[in-house]
């Protein structure tokens, strides 16, 4: 973690909306008739595709106002994407935000035609929306990391371990954790740990590790804190720098190293590779 003060990220940036107020009345944000901001709910997500099989991920899009009728948001794939188009398909390039709702889901389906074990990217843009009053679309992009995963024994990386941060401050030192199989995804392992200990904004988070084909991928952790109040302090998978694992090694005393990217949005400083270790006990 950068040695920079981190503050709680405001969900509504009043200055963006440019609301007027006179000397006597404080302007209150109007979630019905106010201006509508449309944006991705997170900066990134992971699309794990089983070797010779398929996978799926839902990307959430949010709008700051509510409506009594359905609204649509048009999404495009940015040319900077590195994933081969034969390996994925958007269920639709139009996302519906149902009446009375603040969000909708874009489903992306993956298929292993030529998916690589190391992550490649599908970069998404918001192009247009039927939200009104008037509406603004965020220039924020959403990056989907698509990668191949292989079957993993159900007892691998399961049980009691000691979590030790490499000194960057994102996690603690010598912290006992209990790792279990994610009930929704057999190749995911999950445990609870304190994120950003000692910072004043620390909280317990669900840490999810995807076991790719012989490598660890840390799923995105975002607790809505920021240094700049523009983006946010987020950590997640390290892509080509993800660390490897060996299915033959998980006995007591085995040390697993998990690499990840710190500050994906470069909110508090440059994006760098960090790691923590999990020692079997």
Confidence (pLDDT) at 6: 59
Is residue 48's pLDDT more than 60?
A: yes
Return the DSSP state at 32: T
| Beta strands 71-77 and 120-129, pairing class | antiparallel
How does pLDDT run across 64-122, given as a tens digit for each residue? Answer: 888 888 989 999 999 999 999 999 999 999 999 999 999 999 999 999 999 998 889 99
Closest-CA residue to 278 (of 160, 196, 169): 160
How open is the CA angle 260-241-119, to the nearest 5 degrees? 90
Distance from C-alpha of 188 to C-alpha of 200, rounded to nearest angstrom: 30
Exposure of 163 in the CB half-sphere (CA atoms within 13 A): 21
Closest-CA residue to 67 (of 30, 33, 104, 19): 33
What pTM does this model have? 0.62
What's the first-to-final CA gap in the chain, in angstroms? 27
How does pLDDT run across 154-188, given as a tens digit for each residue? Answer: 999 999 999 999 988 999 999 999 999 999 888 99
Confidence (pLDDT) at 214: 87
Confidence (pLDDT) at 27: 39
CA-derived radius of gyration, the chain = 20
Average pLDDT, the chain: 87
Distance from C-alpha of 213 to C-alpha of 50, rounded to nearest angstrom: 9
């Amino acid at each position: 973690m950068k040695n920079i003060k981190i503050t709680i990220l405001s969900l509504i940036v009043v200055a963006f909306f440019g609301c007027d107020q006179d000397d006597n009345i404080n302007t209150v944000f109007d979630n019905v008739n106010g201006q509508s901001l449309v944006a991705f709910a997170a900066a990134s997500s992971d699309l794990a595709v089983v070797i010779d099989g398929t996978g799926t991920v839902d990307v959430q899009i949010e709008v700051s106002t509510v409506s009594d009728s359905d609204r649509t948001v048009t999404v495009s794939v940015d040319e900077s994407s590195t994933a081969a188009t034969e390996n994925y398909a958007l269920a639709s390039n139009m996302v519906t935000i149902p009446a009375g709702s603040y969000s909708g889901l874009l489903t992306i389906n993956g298929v292993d035609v030529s998916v690589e074990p190391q992550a490649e990217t599908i970069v998404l843009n918001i192009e247009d929306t039927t939200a009104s009053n008037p509406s603004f679309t965020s220039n924020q992009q959403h990056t989907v990391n698509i990668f191949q995963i292989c079957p993993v024994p159900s007892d691998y990386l399961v049980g009691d371990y000691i979590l030790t941060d490499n000194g960057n401050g994102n996690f603690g030192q010598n912290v006992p954790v209990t790792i279990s199989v994610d009930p929704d995804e057999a190749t995911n392992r999950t445990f609870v740990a304190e994120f950003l200990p000692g910072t004043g904004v620390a909280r317990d988070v669900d840490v999810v590790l995807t076991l790719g084909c012989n490598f660890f991928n840390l799923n995105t952790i975002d607790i809505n804190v920021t240094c700049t109040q523009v983006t946010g302090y987020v950590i997640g998978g390290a892509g080509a720098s993800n660390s490897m694992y060996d299915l033959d090694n998980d006995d007591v005393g085995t040390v697993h190293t998990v690499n990840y990217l710190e500050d994906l949005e470069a909110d508090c400083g440059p994006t760098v590779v960090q790691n923590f270790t999990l020692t079997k006990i």
